[in-house]
Chains A and B, each alone.
Chain A
Amino acid sequence: MLQILIQGLLLSGLYALIAMGFTLIFSIGRVLNLAYGAYLMVGGYMYFWVSQTLGMPKLMGVAVAALLGVLMGVLKYRLIVKTLKGDHVAVEISTLILAVVIQAGIVLVFGDSSKILLPIVPGVINVAGASVTYNILIATLISWAILLGLYAFVRLTHTGRAMQAVSMDAKGAAISGIDPDRINLITWGISGALGALGGVFFASYTQLSPSMWVAPLIISVAVVIVGGIGSIIGTLVVAHIVGFLEVIVVATLAPELRGVFTMLLIIGVLVTRPQGLFGREEL
């Protein structure tokens, strides 16, 4: 029982970090960035290359991964999302194609086989009878720290409040002097960084492989759909629903079924409550 609680908390913290970047884009532009999972993958591989292949400091690997994430986010907004203007379905199809291209690019550079990421922080700790790696513990703590930082950024800074304004009403924000294009660009950059960071932790939790982007994408999709609002708090809440669901299923039913209930949750919520559990301004 305590085991489930601890595992659930740890996994959910990671999921919240992963889903956050995806939710941000959704709340600002109402677009679903299906190449988001590929950010995670690229972040994970970049960290692997810098810290394990080149043998540079781990922090350096994390920083390079995050920077690359920013670059990918910004480029994608400039080259794809802006070109396709308001056509959401076209953005989704293109980002899906892009994800496959990135996946193939990873195979091209790093090969097909999966790679094990050494733990960022080695060691194991015993918490109430459950053994927990420092790695996941740190990942969860850092993910909480990042989420808190993001929350403060959105609430307290000028740019953050502009982001809120754009997400509520892009036209209204434009009238009151906010440049939605600039805000979008910033948001895509932040989202890319969050994705790449999430990828580093996610990869150290599972492993690196060219198809590792699908699972986190589905988790992010579930969080946006089930949560509905695209807010930071909503993301946190739903990430815990999804995370605990998974941990409970693995512990009580079968590990292979870990994703089934996430999928059923997506389908069920979309069919019965298309606006999400916590409401959504538009659909």
Chain B
Amino acid sequence: MGLRWFHYVLWGGLISGMFLLPQVVSNGTLRTMIFANYLAIFAISWDVLSGRTGYVSFGHPFLIGIGAYTTAILTKRFDVPVEISIPVAVVVTMIAGLLVLLPALRIRGSYFALVTLAFMELLYQLVQVIRPDLTGGTRGMSGIQTLTRGAANGYYLSTALMLSVAVSMWLLMKTRIGTALAAIGMNEESVRGSGLSTTRLKAFAFLTSALIAGLGGAFYVHYLGSLAPRALFDINFLFTIIVAALLGGTSTIIGPMIGAFFMTFLLEYLRPVLPGAERYFVYGAIALLLYMYQPKGLVELAQRGFQRLRKGGLA
């Protein structure tokens, strides 16, 4: 599979570093890190589908929202224990992922992106009117069971979740399935011409992406303890996810992670200067420039810098 010693060192360093962090930083920073962890999970989920196969999803909040609503409704309205509600939420999200797959069998590019956007808006409007006694309607739900108390515990849980998702996706994408999914993004006809059923590969990508989105959405809502349709099915939320993945570097695992942390902390540091939604102005402008002139993201930039250093050092 091409695992090398330095892979172990890097992952080992990252994992131990992240778990030791609560010893040295404030609770405020930890709370920011929790958001970064969940954003990283969502960005990895987006990237497994859109970054690899090129089927750009503008509707990821749709999947995340299904995971979040399912477990929230089950635990709050039906007193189902989280041990059951979260797996159920993941399965329901995966079924929703298959629903999004259907259009992807016929259309791609812009049209696919738009269908997913339509799915998101559709769900936004539906949760407000259909059975508001269950979904909480326009106001959403609060008082949802939380899994942890205190910043440190929330941090440990989200970090464990994020790192398990990241490591398992990293391992998975290092196998030939990662190569095959990336090949779809480069030339879908040639993949078929190489004897591979692209329908099955796409279904796999959608299911994997939905699994992670559902898992992330479910744990996230049990961290927040509340959920509001306007915050969830929101273009700003979608934008944050996509930009995190693009900024870090698509078709990698570390890229969306770096992008998520970069984004969360940048927004946090901008807070004193620009307290409201204006922060997205600076953030979006940076993202737009970077996307247009370095579409491969920060990871690529870092890699190139590193190579230049190494070449310079040897010469």
Which residues of A approach B to under 8 Å, CB–CB? 31-32, 80, 83-84, 88-90, 92-94, 96-101, 103-105, 107-108, 112, 210-211, 214, 218, 221, 225, 254, 256-260, 263-264, 266-267, 270-271, 274, 283
Q: Are A259 and B125 in contact (CB under 8 A)?
A: yes
Which residues of B approach A to under 8 Å, CB–CB? 54, 56, 58, 102-103, 106-107, 109-111, 113-115, 117-119, 121-122, 125-126, 128-129, 138, 235-236, 239, 242-243, 246, 274, 276-281, 283-285, 287-288, 291-292, 295
* A–B complex contacts, Cβ < 8 Å, 9 sampled: A31-B110, A89-B110, A90-B295, A100-B235, A100-B236, A100-B239, A104-B284, A225-B111, A274-B106
Q: Which of A88, A98, A257, A258 contacts B288 (CB 8 A)?
A: A98
Q: Are A267 and B118 in contact (CB under 8 A)?
A: yes
Q: Are B113 and A92 in contact (CB under 8 A)?
A: yes
Q: Are A256 and B246 in contact (CB under 8 A)?
A: no
List chain A residues, Cβ under 8 A from B243. 97
Min CB distance, B91 to chain A, in Å?
A: 23
List chain B residues, Cβ under 8 A from A211. 235
List chain B residues, Cβ under 8 A from A256. 125, 128-129, 138
Q: Which of B103, B109, B280, B285 contacts A103 (CB 8 A)?
A: B280
Q: Are B56 and A270 in contact (CB under 8 A)?
A: no
Nearest to B103 among chain A residues (CB) is A271
Q: Are A97 and B287 in contact (CB under 8 A)?
A: yes
Q: Are B284 and A100 in contact (CB under 8 A)?
A: yes
Min CB distance, B193 to chain A, in Å?
A: 20
Q: Are A104 and B279 in contact (CB under 8 A)?
A: yes
Q: Are B280 and A100 in contact (CB under 8 A)?
A: yes
Nearest to B138 among chain A residues (CB) is A256
List chain B residues, Cβ under 8 A from A92. 56, 110, 113
Give the interface SS of chain B, mostly helix, strand, loop or mixed.
helix
Q: Are A83 and B292 in contact (CB under 8 A)?
A: yes
Min CB distance, B256 to chain A, in Å?
A: 15
List chain A residues, Cβ under 8 A from B295. 90
Nearest to A98 among chain B residues (CB) is B288
Min CB distance, B13 to chain A, in Å?
A: 33
Known: A97-B284, A267-B103. A107 touches B278 (CB 8 A): yes
Min CB distance, B245 to chain A, in Å?
A: 11
Complex Cα distance, B278 from A274, in Å, reads 38
Min CB distance, A250 to chain B, in Å?
A: 12
List chain A residues, Cβ under 8 A from B277. 103-104, 107, 112, 210
Q: Are B246 and A93 in contact (CB under 8 A)?
A: yes
Complex Cα distance, B288 from A96, in Å, reads 10
Additional 20 contacts, C-beta under 8 A, given A84-B292, A257-B125, A263-B119 = A90-B295, A93-B246, A93-B291, A96-B235, A97-B288, A97-B291, A98-B284, A98-B288, A100-B284, A103-B277, A104-B281, A107-B276, A108-B274, A221-B118, A225-B114, A260-B125, A263-B121, A271-B106, A274-B107, A283-B107
Complex Cα distance, B31 from A209, in Å, reads 30
